[in-house]
Structure 1
Amino acid sequence: MPKLKTHSGAKKRFKITATGKVAYKKVGRGHLLRKKNQKRIRSLKQKGYLDDVFAKKIKQLMPYSD
């Protein structure tokens, strides 16, 4: 059976942590930061984690990242 290909869009946007969670970078930090308050900017700085349903779908797109 041939090897499965990793989805190139998923590998750029998501990372599987050592505990098996799927982490991603939150959106909204690219530009227009002056109008956003500091509390909002700090919360966008943290990593986000997908819930179990979406994490399962992303793990299917990235078969060899376990």
Structure 2
Amino acid sequence: MAKYKIKTHSGAKRRFDISGRGKILRRKIGVNNFRRKKRGETLREIPGKRPVAPADARRLRRLLPYS
């Protein structure tokens, strides 16, 4: 009997990246809305990626099966 392929969650593949070592990375919050209220210094500190929490990483592995 043939094995079935698991579909990748399309929302998760847009929002998360996989590092070279296999960690799941997320964007930091607070960049998209209400930018005018924030200081430039604050906005420059925000960009970048952070690893997700271990409990969330386990859940995301099911959504991103081939990464």
Whether the TM-score (by the shorter chain) exceeds 0.5 is yes
Runs of 4 or more off by more than 3 Å in structure 1? none
3-state SS of paired residue (2:36): coil
Cα deviation code 1:14-49 (max 9, x no counterpart): 011111111112232224222112342123212121
Partner of 2:40: 38
| Structure 2 counterpart of 1:6, from 8, 12, 21 | 8
Partner of 1:26: 28
Q: Which amino acid aligns with 2:62?
A: Q
5+ residue gaps, structure 1: none
The alignment's TM-score, normalised by the length of structure 1, stands at 0.80
More off after superposition, 50-59 vs 40-49: 40-49
